[in-house]
Structure 1
Amino acid sequence: MPETTSFTASLKNGTTAPSPTVTPYIPEKPGFGGISLIIFPGGGYGKLADHEGHGLAEFFCAEGIACFVVEYRLGVDGFHHPAMIEDAYAAIATVRASAREFGIDPRRIGVIGSSAGGHLAAHASVAWDTYESDVSLRPDFTILCYPVVYMDGDFCHEGTRTNLLGENPSDEQLSATSVVEHVNDKAPPTFIWHTVGDEAVAVENSIGYATALRVNGVPFEMHIYQRGGHGLSRKTELAWTTDLFRWLREFADGRLMLAK
């Protein structure tokens, strides 16, 4: 499939018929050992922020990384959980099944998400064994940009929760989508960044997810910057992409390890 020619993804036995639109960005000269990124834009499950989707894809593609931007279903269109996670897994399954066609390594497919997209990326990283697929649904690595991970309590982003679960979610729904509760030792290696100055999604979301990874022995790297608001992506002078590229090279070279 040529660059930026969108396609529809599918998931085996999807209970809500997932069919997200995925737009590929395939570099002319692949780098980083054939790794690729499936991108979930942010927007509080109410919209899809272009600079956190196609904007990131263009940036990473220019660096030799194949990217796939997912247009997943949204709460404002009347969809709620599990529609979003099924769309995420549909994208992962379809990209992995088509890895040879895209010229990527099926064992080096990562997910990256920002804000609510970070929630979706994290959710895909901890619930992959709850769905059937002919190929693995587990992301090989995860990148979280100022993610939402709590669906209840002081650090929950209420707008994201409402769009994901509706006005009156049950305790079971809250627990199922509070992804920090579901981290185990099978979660993928993870890169996280956030700012203390984020007044929309509290930095405690990232700290909580990193703590869960640490407890379960999962390799991770986290960068917390003092200043900066929400939704920055690449609209910032913060050096998160510099550190991320180093981390991705370490992943591609098999050098990601827990600190001793």
Structure 2
Amino acid sequence: MSFDFRIRTAFVFLAFLLFPSQAFSAKRSDFNIWHGVESMRGEIVQMEVFRPESPNGSAVIICPGGSYHHLGIVNEGYTTAKWFSERGVTSFVLWYRVAKNRYHYPSQMQDVQRAIQVVRENSDSYQIRKDRIGLIGFSAGGHLVTWAGAFASRTNELEKLGIQTQTSLRPDFVIPVYPVVSMQDDIGHKWSRKSLLGKNPPQEMKDLFSLEMQIPGDMPPTYLVACRDDPVVMFENSVRLYEALKQKGIDSEFAVYEWGGHGFGMTDNKFMKAFHWNKALESWLQAHGFMD
């Protein structure tokens, strides 16, 4: 039994201690997204599924943060899955590969595109609609989900692995929360950049993964969340992303909060009690037909 497997098992056990109602309100299972893919033999990337009692036809793939180095599974993964599944949305927590385990680009991008493929190609078995599958990501996970939305029609990392995709890799909505956006020297989050691209990436790689420079005209509807006092990822990351979205005419909303910092996730903390940011998100999802 690997060390990482023991860690993941411990997190799952902790989640059920923290959220005992989750065991009754949603049916949980997990699987390796790379199972059966010859070119990825030996790779194990788990995705946990939380199936609500009354699915509404929507699904969300959750990408926790952690500077592309580790994953904030409980705070940004399980709490988010609980919130969505309680509202009828089938939720998938993606344990994408990270630098702590010596994985860098393109591993993370392969994982998120494979997750979208697997969910969409198996949508009938999950009682979800193919046109109601979105992404939410926190911090570095916010960068990952924004990348998935921005590059869906330009870059197919799965084809490079010999995988034929029979369905679209474009998410139907994207929710970046206090996201890493830029890889530029002035505002980029250095740890995330190093974890994803290495210690001294060339300028062309910085530009390619500075998502404020890469928003296409077919970017999915986007709901962006950030706090002005974020001490970890500069608020300017989100400002530049929103400006790029509006410049391209993308259906987007920017929820700006004066305080709250970084890493608040979906937990019932001081920030949540003060602003109930998830209520505003719920209204946006309802308005776009992804939540009842």
TM-score, normalised relative to structure 2: 0.81
Preserved contact between residue 108 and residue 140 of structure 1 (Cα < 8 Å): yes
Find the counterpart in structure 1 of residue 281 from structure 2.
244
Provide Cα deviations, 1:54-88, integer angstroms capped at 9, x if missing partner. 12101211121111000000012111111101100
Alignment partners' CA distance in 1, 2:190 and 2:283: 34
2:69 to 46, 54, 57: 46
Higher Cα radius of gyration: 2
- Identify unmatched segments of 5+ residues in structure 2: 1-25, 160-164
**Deviates further, 100-109 or 226-235:** 226-235
1:93 and 2:121 aligned: no
Alignment partners' CA distance in 2, 1:212 and 1:65: 29
Preserved contact between residue 133 and residue 173 of structure 2 (Cα < 8 Å): yes
Cα distance, 1:176 vs structure 2: 1.9
**Deviates further, 167-176 or 153-162:** 167-176
- Shift of the 168–13 alpha-carbon distance from structure 1 to 2, 3 Å rule, reads farther
Preserved contact between residue 36 and residue 108 of structure 1 (Cα < 8 Å): yes
1:136 and 2:168 aligned: yes
Alignment partners' CA distance in 2, 1:135 and 1:11: 18
Find the counterpart in structure 2 of residue 227 from structure 1.
259
Alignment partners' CA distance in 1, 2:245 and 2:223: 11
Q: Which amino acid aligns with 2:50?
A: Y
- Identify unmatched segments of 5+ residues in structure 1: 255-260
Cα distance, 1:13 vs structure 2: 8.9
Find the counterpart in structure 2 of residue 178 from structure 1.
210
- Shift of the 82–172 alpha-carbon distance from structure 1 to 2, 3 Å rule, reads same
Alignment partners' CA distance in 2, 1:35 and 1:137: 16
Where does 1:57-96 land on structure 2 (aligned, <5 Å)?
Answer: 57-96=81-120
Q: Which amino acid aligns with 1:117?
A: G
Q: Which amino acid aligns with 2:261?
A: G
Where does 1:86-235 land on structure 2 (aligned, <5 Å)?
Answer: 86-129=110-153, 130-131=155-156, 132=159, 133-234=165-266, 235=269
Preserved contact between residue 19 and residue 87 of structure 1 (Cα < 8 Å): no
Q: How many residues are matched?
A: 251
Alignment partners' CA distance in 2, 1:28 and 1:19: 28
Preserved contact between residue 58 and residue 290 of structure 2 (Cα < 8 Å): no
Q: Which amino acid aligns with 1:88?
A: V
Aligned residue for 1:26, secondary structure, equals strand
Provide Cα deviations, 1:139-184, integer angstroms capped at 9, x if missing partner. 0010110001101132111111111111111222212211221101
Alignment partners' CA distance in 2, 1:12 and 1:119: 28
Question: 4+ residue stretches of structure 1 with deviation over 6 A?
Answer: 11-18
Preserved contact between residue 10 and residue 94 of structure 1 (Cα < 8 Å): no
Aligned residue for 1:137, secondary structure, equals coil
- Shift of the 14–179 alpha-carbon distance from structure 1 to 2, 3 Å rule, reads farther
**Deviates further, 170-179 or 7-16:** 7-16
Cα distance, 1:16 vs structure 2: 6.7
Alignment partners' CA distance in 2, 1:220 and 1:87: 25
Preserved contact between residue 10 and residue 19 of structure 1 (Cα < 8 Å): yes
Find the counterpart in structure 1 of residue 29 from structure 2.
5
